[in-house]
Chains A and B, each alone.
Chain A
Amino acid sequence: MNSDEVSLLIKKLIEKNSKFESGDLFAVAEIKDLYEELNLKLSEGEGLKNLTKFILILYELAESLLEPEKEEKILELFQAANQSIYDLLNVPEKKKTAIQMINETIAEIKKFKSEFAQNKKNELFSSVNLIINKVENLENGDLFLISEIKEDFENLQKQIEKNSSIECCLQDFAFLIEAFLFTNENEAIKKSALESLKDIILFYKNEIDINILNKKHDQRNQKINQIKEKMQLNESLSDKYSKNYFNNIIQDEKMLSQLCDEINDHMNKAQYTLVDLEYDETNQENINKIFRAFHTAKGSSAFLGLKNIEEVGHQMENLLVLVRDGKLRITSELIDVIFIGIELLRNLTSIMEVNQFKIEKMVESFKKVDIFSYIRLIKKILEQYSFKKIGQILEEEGLLRVKDVKHILQKQKETSKKFGEIAVEEKMITPTELENAVNKQTSSLKKSSYVRVSNDRLNLLVDTVGELVINQSMLRQILTDSKMDNKAVRERVISQLEGISTNIKNIVLSMGMVPIAEVFNKLRVVIRNTTTELGKAVIVDIRGEDTELDRNVIETIYDPLVHIVRNAVDHGIEFPGEREKGKKDRVGKIIISAEHKGNGIEISVWDDGKGIKKERIIEKALQLGLLGEDKIENLTEKEIYNLMFQPGFSTAEKVTEVSGRGVGLDVVKKNIDEIRGKIEIFSKEKEFTKFVIKLPLTLAIIEGFVTEVGENKYIFPFNLVDEIIVPQEEMLSIMDNGTMMLFNRGIYIPVIFSGKIFGESEYKKDTNNLVAIIIFYDNKHYAVVVDKVIGKQETVIKNLSEVLNDLAVFSGGTIFGDGTIGFVVDLDGFLDKVKDLEEKIKKN
């Protein structure tokens, strides 16, 4: 033995040890090499057996250096060990203490190891307990819990892999949980698997007496074998690739390889689309895309005889049909299931590639891939959403035998009778049994609680209900006028009718309402895409997504909103660097909100970007000839912003329809005009821009407050009317600018003579005995003077014809019980008109 070499090695070791960095694979390997070498050198000498044993322990320990939680402690141990070995060999006077040190270190290593194993085990216990918990709560067919359990299991497996001492049970674990995942049709297997799982946990917990342990181990093995047998029995019944399963594969390498490429391509597309779907689950186009992907995969693989791919594709297609038809909602769990399917298909194609499309080899590998468990999984989901055939139900109930079912089916082909009818005729079942079965069949249908109704029919229904309401008010009129003696009966009849029709009305109107969340979610995606495209960062805040809108409006509002939102990201929000300079948060903010306001709905898009430069707009409008030089001075802020809605004002960059920005702000305005909405811009340079879209009443029937002014009847939305007063003369005062104010309940309220606004020539102007309705709108009070108050009434809003669409004061007309026509006031339009008139007066 060369003591110089040995001490050199130990010195090297000490050096390596002190310089060790976490996770350094090479350092670990070197340390191991050094120990090995040391061991070799020492074993040449005599009487050092104990020392070589110690070094072996160290060698093994080095392996664990890569585990971060152990690293520190091990390094410490190494340091002590190396020092004592060095002392033992080179410093004779320290020999004794060194031996002592070595013994201590060995003890410490042992302790450390067992402690760590204990920790690991505890962790393991809790994981297993978690799984057990979940398993106990598992209901039949709860697919998502199953996939959760599977995930837990995968984690567990990782933990076990690290811990070699319980490796022996790894396979059992895998098997038992697998048994859970895919055999839930068999309660017995499930139960025994559950018990075995519990046993295993107990086994670890009582890891004291090795004998008991072994006994238990044997017991467990026995049980597991039992389950295995049962499972195999189960499997051989339905699953397993049958003998000729792969017999039809066409031997054409070129075509097979093309198919592989095609499927991989489709799977990639499907995967991307799925990610999009996660953000926007209602995108029909995307659902169709994925559907098509699987459909093609299925079709082409069937053509080449690849039955396994075909079957997987087929099941996934079935699953997506449910999604497409709106019976199943896309959730992240469902997306996971589809992802698993995509992986499975990819797996199969890669098998083909690896085996270079040689059929024998392919088939051999194919047979090792279990597609059936996945197919079962999907079937399980499908079962919940489709209804069973009558025969299947009867068979399950034990009322019919398989033979009988076949017999009846045969008969059914000959006659046009229903399955149940034949069964009863043949006296195989009683009519009551049939009835029960039919009930069962329909009860499993309950899950799909949506009915698709065409737009036209729904609109027709709304119209018809409108007619009903009108007719009802006619009836009331007639009954009131008639000289029927029994007033009480009359009242009761009419109020019952009114109750019923109000109910119908509410149901019908709510049928057409859709929450705006659908649109907002799409906008979120638009913002995300645009920001990544442009390299900006934006947080989106969405408010009031529960607000319900008429579905016709929802359809129209989407495009304008996309445009506005894109504008906000593109032109509004600055680049992060720019924002930092402007002392703003690097991340921009966009708030999209919807709320009920007055008798309409307000949707706004707000961004904290650079705002709009008024000068630039004027400049541009001048350039484009949209504005005369002389008019510049009198422009109000609103008028300046409104210039942006002029046709041709859109910015220089002409973008095509393809890129999705086919609309300029003029088109936005046109779209919003179409649904009788209004759009307004608010902005402050360097601070914010806000687009506000006000949509009028979308409800076709409102609670109206009927008044008479001049020669016509006008209807105000009832929910805006605060009170009706006949003001005393001392309550009225005239301001310096000529406007009249009403002092009511401690506040001054501007008085509006509605006759003037409606253009009536003869209305009550006398300040004595005025009738004023106090309207509270947009946080302000207005006293609207009318000639006469008639009362509250259900009002069906009818479209005034296109010819009269420019009458912004009205949201429509209505027909009363006596056949006369009234006009429904749109408060926004009404107040705009008031302002216009005031300005005119000022100018004169």
Chain B
Amino acid sequence: MSAEASSVKYLIFSLNKEYYGIPISKVREVIRFVNITPVHETLKFIKGVINLRGKIIPIIDMRLKFGLQENQYNDRTIFIIVDIHGVKSVFNMGITVESVHDVTDINEETMEKAPEIGLKLKSQYLSGIAKIKDKMIMLLNMDRILTTEDVILMKDFQKNE
């Protein structure tokens, strides 16, 4: 496969034995686990904040976000710091994953549209699905993952609880 213009580099990580990809242009850096300062009274999947060289960055637990069982963090837990295009500004956010695998070129032609049903994940989070070797990789739309509507929905849900 030659590096064609239509191919995009993706960072592949795994979570609960499933593979996900984020466009590398969105990834600011990948860091090892550091202490999280918990933030209470906010969305459940926001674990807290970390100090990244003087910047305060919120950490989202992807397992909780995807409705999976919470895992204890250990030294091997990894934070991927990503750029999010928020409503008002671009900000950084960290997501917790179990391991980072690879950076791969994914050709747009090999990308498929995410099916409406049959997946655990809501298709709106996904920008597509790619297959590399025999692995299925779900390509995440990071900006969508925290859209305000979603946040508001979750908040209301929490308040009604």
Determine which of B40, B56, B92 lies in contact with A800 in the assembled complex, contact meaning CB atoms within 8 Å: B56
Contact with B along A693-711 (1 / 0, CB 8 A): 0000000000000000001
Determine which of B40, B49, B146 lies in contact with A821 in the assembled complex, contact meaning CB atoms within 8 Å: B49
Within 8 A of B (CB), among A751-791: 758-760
A815: CB under 8 A from chain B?
yes
A800 contact set on B, CB distance < 8 A:
49, 56, 58
Determine which of B38, B56, B91 lies in contact with A712 in the assembled complex, contact meaning CB atoms within 8 Å: B38
A467: CB under 8 A from chain B?
yes
B71: CB under 8 A from chain A?
no
Q: A815–B46 Cα gap in the complex (Å)?
A: 19
Chain A: minimal CB distance from B81 (Å): 12
A68: CB under 8 A from chain B?
no
Chain A: minimal CB distance from B34 (Å): 9
A307: CB under 8 A from chain B?
no
Contact with B along A100-138 (1 / 0, CB 8 A): 000000000000000000000000000000000000000
Quick one: closest B residue to A470, CB to CB? B54
B155 contact set on A, CB distance < 8 A:
806
B39: CB under 8 A from chain A?
yes
Q: How many of chain B's residues have a CB under 8 angstroms from any CB in A?
A: 28
The answer to whether residues A815 and B151 also contact, given A711-B38, A801-B93, A807-B42 and a CB cut-off of 8 A, is: no
Q: A674–B43 Cα gap in the complex (Å)?
A: 20
A806 contact set on B, CB distance < 8 A:
42, 155
A803: CB under 8 A from chain B?
yes
B51: CB under 8 A from chain A?
yes
Q: A522–B155 Cα gap in the complex (Å)?
A: 40
Determine which of A804, A815, A823 lies in contact with B58 in the assembled complex, contact meaning CB atoms within 8 Å: A804
Q: A674–B146 Cα gap in the complex (Å)?
A: 18
A798: CB under 8 A from chain B?
yes
Determine which of B38, B39, B54, B93 lies in contact with A815 in the assembled complex, contact meaning CB atoms within 8 Å: B54
B87: CB under 8 A from chain A?
yes
B15: CB under 8 A from chain A?
no
Contact call B41/A803, Cβ cutoff below 8 A: no
A47: CB under 8 A from chain B?
no
Q: How many of chain A's residues have a CB under 8 angstroms from any CB in B?
A: 24
Chain A: minimal CB distance from B135 (Å): 31
A798 contact set on B, CB distance < 8 A:
55-56
A813: CB under 8 A from chain B?
yes
Contact call B56/A807, Cβ cutoff below 8 A: no
Q: A711–B88 Cα gap in the complex (Å)?
A: 31
B89: CB under 8 A from chain A?
yes
Determine which of A760, A801, A802, A820 lies in contact with B40 in the assembled complex, contact meaning CB atoms within 8 Å: A760
B37: CB under 8 A from chain A?
yes
Contact call B58/A809, Cβ cutoff below 8 A: no
Chain B: minimal CB distance from A445 (Å): 39
B111: CB under 8 A from chain A?
no
A232: CB under 8 A from chain B?
no
Contact call B56/A802, Cβ cutoff below 8 A: no
A799: CB under 8 A from chain B?
yes
A803 contact set on B, CB distance < 8 A:
43, 46, 58, 60, 86, 91, 93, 146, 151
B35 contact set on A, CB distance < 8 A:
820
A398: CB under 8 A from chain B?
no
A815 contact set on B, CB distance < 8 A:
51, 54, 56
Q: A549–B89 Cα gap in the complex (Å)?
A: 22
B137: CB under 8 A from chain A?
no
Chain A: minimal CB distance from B26 (Å): 16
B121: CB under 8 A from chain A?
no
A499: CB under 8 A from chain B?
no
Contact with A along B79-120 (1 / 0, CB 8 A): 000000011110111000000000000000000000000000
The answer to whether residues A813 and B89 also contact, given A799-B56, A803-B58 and a CB cut-off of 8 A, is: no
Quick one: closest B residue to A759, CB to CB? B40
The answer to whether residues A801 and B58 also contact, given A806-B155, A821-B51 and a CB cut-off of 8 A, is: yes
A819: CB under 8 A from chain B?
yes
A711 contact set on B, CB distance < 8 A:
38
Q: A712–B51 Cα gap in the complex (Å)?
A: 14
Within 8 A of A (CB), among B46-87: 46, 49-51, 54-58, 60, 86-87
Determine which of A467, A801, A807, A820 lies in contact with B37 in the assembled complex, contact meaning CB atoms within 8 Å: A820
For the residues of A in contact with B, the DSSP-based class is mixed
Determine which of B49, B51, B60, B151 lies in contact with A819 in the assembled complex, contact meaning CB atoms within 8 Å: B51
B91 contact set on A, CB distance < 8 A:
801-803
Determine which of A470, A712, A804 lies in contact with B42 in the assembled complex, contact meaning CB atoms within 8 Å: A804
Contact call A807/B39, Cβ cutoff below 8 A: yes
Quick one: closest A residue to B94, CB to CB? A801
A823 contact set on B, CB distance < 8 A:
39
Quick one: closest B residue to A758, CB to CB? B40
The answer to whether residues A820 and B38 also contact, given A800-B56, A801-B91, A803-B58 and a CB cut-off of 8 A, is: no
Q: A813–B48 Cα gap in the complex (Å)?
A: 12
A804 contact set on B, CB distance < 8 A:
39, 42, 46, 49, 58
Q: A467–B53 Cα gap in the complex (Å)?
A: 10
B89 contact set on A, CB distance < 8 A:
802
Chain A: minimal CB distance from B88 (Å): 6
B54 contact set on A, CB distance < 8 A:
467, 470, 815
Q: A759–B42 Cα gap in the complex (Å)?
A: 9
Quick one: closest A residue to B36, CB to CB? A821
Most chain B C-beta atoms within 10 Å of own C-beta, residue among A798, A802, A813: A802
Contact call A801/B42, Cβ cutoff below 8 A: no
A820 contact set on B, CB distance < 8 A:
35, 37, 51
Q: A355–B37 Cα gap in the complex (Å)?
A: 85
Quick one: closest B residue to A755, CB to CB? B40
Chain B: minimal CB distance from A629 (Å): 20
Q: A803–B54 Cα gap in the complex (Å)?
A: 18
The answer to whether residues A807 and B41 also contact, given A801-B91, A802-B87, A802-B91 and a CB cut-off of 8 A, is: yes
Contact with A along B111-143 (1 / 0, CB 8 A): 000000000000000000000000000000000
Within 8 A of B (CB), among A490-548: none
Chain A: minimal CB distance from B145 (Å): 11
Q: A807–B43 Cα gap in the complex (Å)?
A: 10
Contact call A802/B49, Cβ cutoff below 8 A: no
Q: A815–B54 Cα gap in the complex (Å)?
A: 7
A467 contact set on B, CB distance < 8 A:
54
Quick one: closest B residue to A711, CB to CB? B38
The answer to whether residues A821 and B42 also contact, given A712-B37, A801-B93, A802-B87 and a CB cut-off of 8 A, is: no
The answer to whether residues A758 and B49 also contact, given A801-B93, A813-B56, A815-B56 and a CB cut-off of 8 A, is: no
A802 contact set on B, CB distance < 8 A:
86-89, 91
Q: A800–B56 Cα gap in the complex (Å)?
A: 6
A809 contact set on B, CB distance < 8 A:
41
B46 contact set on A, CB distance < 8 A:
803-804
B151 contact set on A, CB distance < 8 A:
803
Within 8 A of A (CB), among B7-49: 35, 37-43, 46, 49
Q: A710–B120 Cα gap in the complex (Å)?
A: 37
Contact call B41/A758, Cβ cutoff below 8 A: yes
Chain A: minimal CB distance from B1 (Å): 37
Most chain A C-beta atoms within 10 Å of own C-beta, residue among B42, B46, B155: B42
A470 contact set on B, CB distance < 8 A:
54
Quick one: closest A residue to B49, CB to CB? A821
Chain A: minimal CB distance from B91 (Å): 5
Contact call B41/A821, Cβ cutoff below 8 A: no
Q: A804–B48 Cα gap in the complex (Å)?
A: 10
Chain B: minimal CB distance from A812 (Å): 8
Q: Which 10 A-B pairs have the closest CB atoms?
A: A759-B40, A759-B41, A821-B37, A802-B86, A813-B56, A801-B58, A803-B58, A798-B56, A801-B91, A815-B51
Question: Can you pick out 18 interface pairs between chain A and chain B where the beta carbons lie within 8 Å of each other?
Answer: A711-B38, A712-B38, A759-B40, A760-B40, A800-B58, A801-B91, A801-B92, A802-B87, A802-B89, A802-B91, A803-B86, A803-B91, A804-B58, A809-B41, A815-B54, A820-B35, A820-B37, A821-B50
User: Known contacts A759-B41, A820-B51; can you find 16 more A-B pairs with CB under 8 A?
Assistant: A674-B88, A711-B38, A760-B40, A798-B56, A801-B49, A801-B91, A802-B86, A802-B88, A803-B46, A803-B58, A803-B86, A804-B58, A806-B42, A815-B54, A821-B51, A823-B39
